[in-house]
Every structure is written in structure tokens, then in C-alpha cells.
Amino acid sequence: MSNSIKVRTSVRNNTVTVRMLVRHAMEVGGVRANGERVAAHFIKEITCTHNGKTVMVGHWGAGIAKNPYLSFTIRDAAVGDELRIRWVDNQGGIDEFATRI
């Protein structure tokens, strides 16, 4: 079960609107004012599959804000279909969320 991905879906006329919030530091990296070094730590890729078929892939970088919000629609979807969301970050971290619409 995912600790970092929160998803809400709504179905209307065989179209699903997916809204998600991903909790992640999305750190750019560099040196803070106190001299502390901070390593870059951000999501590189986020993928959504609907019933096993990839419907959305996002290639992100350090320019995306902390705790990003993402919304998109999927056509020809119905209640009970499977939805999977997975992200991979630049430090090898992975999280995955699966649910039924």
C-alpha cells in the first residue's frame, strides 16, 4: 500500500477524472544558507495504467514543486476498472498505488 500517493476518481459518461497528490520532497539539491549540502531528490517518472494498459507517463525533473498535484482523464473507463500509479525517483525510490475506480 502506498504511503505517498493519494488518489480521487470520478466517473462521468465513461470518462474517469483522476486527481492525485504525491507526497515527495522534490528537492533541487545544492547548499543551504547554513552551509548544509542537500542532495537532489525528485521524481523522475510517474506512470498510470488502466486495466494493464499505460495511459499516462510523466517525465519529471527537479523543477516540479514539492508534493505535486496531477489531474488527467481516461476515456472508455467504468466503475470497477483497475487503476495503478507508480513513480520512480532519482535516488532509486519507488512507490506504487493500486485501486479500483
Could you read off the pLDDT of 26-47 as tens digits, one per residue?
999 888 889 899 899 999 999 9
Helix segments in 26-70, DSSP class H: none
Find the mean pLDDT for residues 13-18: 93
- pLDDT the model gives residue 2: 61
The predicted pLDDT at position 1 comes to 46
Task: Look at residue 90 in the predicted model and tell me its pLDDT.
Answer: 95
Q: How far is CA 94 from CA 29, 60, 80, 88, in A?
A: 19, 14, 25, 5
CA dist 10 and 18 (Å) reads 7
- Architecture of the domain delimited by 5-100: Sandwich (2.60)
Please give the Cα distance from 61 to 6 (Å, whole number). Answer: 20
The proportion of the chain whose per-residue pLDDT surpasses 90, expressed as a percent, equals: 82
Is the pLDDT score of 63 beyond 80?
yes
Q: Residue ranges per domain, the chain?
A: 5-100
Considering the entire predicted model, what is its pTM?
0.87
